[in-house]
Chains A and B, each alone.
Chain A
Amino acid sequence: MTSSPAERPRRPRPEAALRPKDSAPVETSPPPPTAPLPKPIPKRPFLLDFFPLEGPEQTKLHRFYDRLREGHLSTTRCRRDAELHWPPRTMCPRCRSEDLEWVDLPERGHVYAFSAVLAGAPLGMEQDVPFAVGLVDLDGVSLRIFGRIEGRPWTELRIGQPVRPEAYDIGDGRMFYRFRTVD
């Protein structure tokens, strides 16, 4: 059963969080037995569905979603030039190497900028309005990632708000990430 990172032991130190987790970003070995395979058929037609298809038969980056299922936000890092990517890649855009490794990202960050969607939500997100979104600087790495911010209403957010990445099941077996405020 999927669980959120809140129910898992925290690893607060970014250097520990950046330890390589796997040697091959594009390998196709089956996911760990504890992680159920995502259901292959989305509820919405593909061209009206924002969430990606996540399985190994659909993307070389399926490890990203497997790791989310284990409660961790991860990405690729280039073994040649140590470039940390976002989003995860199958080729390093700096040196064009395909020799990449998976690393977990820090489990804490701070809001750099935020807003909220109060109107004009895309299909499938209308019921979420109002929702907060923002750019989050992850602690200890040079990455600023965009995502939903849950945990408190947008009117109570501020720049600098501490947040943590959170994995969640979107409701049909697929996983995605968002941020949650921490005090």
Chain B
Amino acid sequence: MKGRKVALVGGATTRFGVRSATWAELVQEVGVALARSVPELRSEEVDSLFVGAAEPERFAFQSHVAPLVAEQLGITPYKILQRTELACASGQSAIRSAYAAISSGLSDIAVVVGAEKMNLPSMAEANSAMACVMDRPWDGPAGATAPPFFAMVAQRHMLEFGTTEEQLAAISEKNHRFANTNPNAQFYEKTFSRDKLLRLPLIAPPLRLGDCSSMTDGAAAVLLTAEEHALRFTDSPAWIRGSGQYSDFHNLAHAGSLTEWRGLTRASREALGQAGIGVKDLDLAEIHDCFTISEIVEYEALGLCPKGEGGKFAADGRGDLGGDLVVNPRGGLLGCGHPLGATGVAQAVEVFQQFSAEVPPARQAPDPEWALVHNLSGSANVHSVMIYQRGGAA
């Protein structure tokens, strides 16, 4: 890769869940947590700020959020100040923008904050905010929200490949089990056996409540620096080695077969190619399990297993501790909840903590060197992938 080396040198999240706090208060909370994570950071050396926020206008009635975050964190960015929006991938977009800025030499030290406040007094209003992620004047009036779309993906995957409800439940059980090791997860200390998951109510058939990630309030933050600053903040930076994205449609009319996510295949090949590794080299993956079926299709699109065998890959525990690689040890979107702008940043925090061996043994990937982070957004029409490598030096 051309450009300067970029390191992720620290990060933190708030507790995710139904929080008695406003959007701005969640940002302040994560500011405290970030300061604890990188105590050497001086406010005045932060030259840039990137804020991942999907819909503060809808969820918090607040636009122009980047300067609001800067004021609350007590920083005065003087190179780049920016908010990124890419729906469910807004957080990773903020990291990617910071990466590009540092890699290019425009920035040296950048703070990335992702935040979303999704639980409103009226959940119908919150659902409306979610629904305008789709092609609103065309698919929106029909009631196109994420659950029915991903339910159709599941229906086709079951029809074409024989994927079962039990295989979907295997994903949910794994990620909720991991969430029980994560005190910041929305479903911390809540257990979900496969039997219990299969008895939960249908939300959008064939998807049940336990197949769907939640409406969640939360924030996450990371610090990215150029190579020469990295070791001042940590002994074990996570180096960004690759980045890929792909988007080829928006209206649901162009979603193709539903079960083949070519965009993820393209984005991950791009990112892995930049890193100079293959998918089999990955020790750890934080991938976008907004629904159980998503993680199954992602196994296939990433090339971890042949097309149609994602359900078996899940049921066989190949994405679990002791499997081919550890997938979603943080607890995933299913277990942690999915505050849109915060999710991608929180996944990167997990990678950093896994590399630093700061997570409980019940979710620690064994001696991880390579990690992949993936977010989809909308109707899986956009895929965003980043590759991280553990290391002491660039």
Contact = CB atoms under 8 A, between A and B. Distances in A.
Nearest to A176: B141
A50 B141 contact: yes
Interface in A27-84: 48, 50-52
Contacts of A48: 125, 128
A125 B124 CA distance: 9
A120 B203 contact: yes
B253 A145 contact: yes
Contacts of A159: 155, 159
B151 interface: yes
Q: Range of interface residues on chain B?
A: 35 or more
A133 B151 CA distance: 10
A117 B253 contact: no
Nearest to B152: A113
Contact of A146 (B131, B132, B139, B206): B139
B142 A148 contact: yes
Residue from B130, B132, B145 with most neighbouring chain A CB atoms (10 Å): B145
Nearest to A138: B253
A84 to B, nearest CB: 11
Contacts of B258: 113, 135
Contact of B143 (A87, A121, A143): A121
A116 B148 contact: yes
A146 B253 contact: yes
A117 B143 contact: yes
B141 A126 contact: no
A131 interface: yes
Contacts of B356: none
B122 interface: yes
Given A113-B155, A131-B143, A123 B125 contact: yes
A50 to B, nearest CB: 4
B234 interface: no
Contacts, number: 113
Interface string B216-241: 00000000000000000000000000
B28 interface: no
Residue from A133, A146, A147 with most neighbouring chain B CB atoms (10 Å): A146
Contact of A118 (B137, B139, B144, B202): B202
Contact of A115 (B131, B136, B205): B205
Nearest to B256: A144
B33 interface: no
A64 to B, nearest CB: 10
A123 B205 contact: no
Interface string A111-141: 0111111111111111010010111000000
B205 A154 contact: yes
B100 interface: no
A168 B251 CA distance: 21
Contact of B128 (A86, A118, A123, A176): A123
B146 to A, nearest CB: 9
Interface in A150-173: 154, 159, 170
Contacts of A143: 253
Interface string B356-384: 00000000000000000000000000000
Contacts of B142: 133, 146-148, 178
Contacts of B253: 86-87, 135, 143-146
A175 B50 CA distance: 42
A159 B201 CA distance: 22
B312 interface: no
Given A123-B127, A146-B139, A133 B159 contact: no
B307 interface: no
Nearest to B212: A120
A136 to B, nearest CB: 10
B318 interface: no
A128 B142 CA distance: 11
B298 to A, nearest CB: 19
Residue from B139, B202, B205 with most neighbouring chain A CB atoms (10 Å): B205
A126 B124 contact: yes
Given A122-B143, A123-B128, 7 more contacts: A113-B155, A114-B152, A115-B149, A118-B201, A145-B253, A159-B155, A170-B141
Interface of B: 122-125, 127-128, 130-132, 135-145, 147-149, 151-153, 155-156, 159, 201-207, 251-253, 255, 258
What are the 4 tightest A-B residue pairs by CB atom distance, in nearest-first order? Answer: A115-B151, A52-B137, A113-B152, A146-B252
5 contacts: A50-B128, A50-B137, A120-B147, A143-B253, A176-B141
Interface of A: 48, 50-52, 86-87, 112-126, 128, 131, 133-135, 143-148, 154, 159, 170, 176, 178
